[in-house]
Amino acid sequence: MNPWVTLIIVAITYLGIAIGHWPRLKTNRTTIALMGAGLLLVTGQIKFDQIGSFLDLDTLILLFSMMIINANLRLAGFFELAANRLLRLTRNPRHFLALEILLMGVLSAFFLNDTICLMFTPFLLELMLAARRNPIPYLIALATAANIGSAATLTGNPQNMIIGVASGISWLQFAAALTPLALLSLGGIWGVLILFYPQEFARRNLFDIVPATEVRYYPWHLTKCLIIIGGLLLAFLLGAPVAFAAFLAACALLFTRRVQPESVFAEFDWSLLVFFAALFIVTGSLEVSGLTNRLLELTHLNEQVNVFSFSAITVLLSNLVSNVPAVLLLRPLTASLPNPTAGWLTLASASTLAGNLTLLGSVANLIVAESALRRDVKLTFWEYTRTGALITLISLLISTLWIALFIW
């Protein structure tokens, strides 16, 4: 084993993940991570029998379980029903924007933010195009609110799941610490979009559209989903292990006479699970090579960071290589901090909020942009970033001040 060879392979892998593909090759982030793991094996930097110890099974099981829960809600018609109810509450664009931001934020706190964007983007596009309105500010609101709302809980996004398993912080403790800053940051989205799109949100500029009178959903299956999810949230509040409780809830949802298993698994993002597994292997190689400990010993970085510098490091790294790889790289440093709980919470908030900085900052943003493009609506890099950068600045300011005053 040569630490320098390990470092070079990991650096090349992370560079590919940051770019998103390799030139002239049919690759994506998942295949690049897998190729990095393969290179580490073939060069002898890690052994095949070590792979099992690198995999964080609790995180993988939690992600798998949340996919089952989200798939059942989707098939039961929950997301379409929620979207229709949202339109029925108001036809005032400012009020609608506020309700949209709040609903997306709350739903993303309990379910994966990527799922929320995947489900609600087509509805928003359909609605705004039918009403002959500018869909761009509502799409930006969807993406940014989903990202910010997901920071509030351990089940909101993949990086928080990793942090929850690594830190041992309970679901309730995590939510109590970060929900207030998430709610305050959601208000910032509304203010920024009103500022940047004054014509769209003129006070008397009402929606000229009537919501659908009927929405296709399945009452019995939806009722079952909501009962099981209610039990899951109660288990979280009572301090049950998050992955264990989510797995039992997912198993309970699979007991059904109405939904075909193929329909549930067709909703899965299998590449995300493989991406996680490959990243665990790649980052695990740094720890067994001793590079992580050597870096901490040379720099004494764990003794020098505070909430502001650690947030800055996290935001920078998250935008270079994406938030999940950044969290995996920063795990050893966070665990070695004098106050690791505060470090984990800072890592969770900063890595999530950093996703709003640019259009490429999070998968949720790309889901919204790609879905919009299919309807010939172009959410450009600049159009998103000019508002996303200000939203990120406001939310990070709120986050760092909150953590500095009440947690660090």
Measure CA of the first residue to CA of the last residue in the chain; give whole Å.
38
Q: Which residues are CB-contacts of 362 (< 8 A; sequence separation ≥ 6)?
A: 113, 143, 147, 322, 323, 355, 356
How far apart, in whole angstroms, are the C-alpha atoms of residue 33 and residue 54?
14
201-239: burial string, b at 16+ Cβ within 10 Å, e else: beeeeebeeeeeeeeebeeebbebbeebbeebbebbeee
Does this model's pTM top 0.85? Answer: no
- Tell me if 160 sits within 8 A of 175, measured CB to CB: no
- Residue 328 token pair: 């995996």
How far apart, in whole angstroms, are the C-alpha atoms of residue 293 and residue 188?
39
Q: Provide the pLDDT for residue 298.
A: 57
Query: What radius of gyration, in Å, describes the C-alpha atoms of the chain?
Result: 21
Report residues of the chain scoring pLDDT below 70: 208-214, 292-303
Closest CA to 326 of 367, 284, 283, 358: 283
Closest CA to 277 of 6, 60, 66: 60
Closest CA to 161 of 71, 64, 278: 64
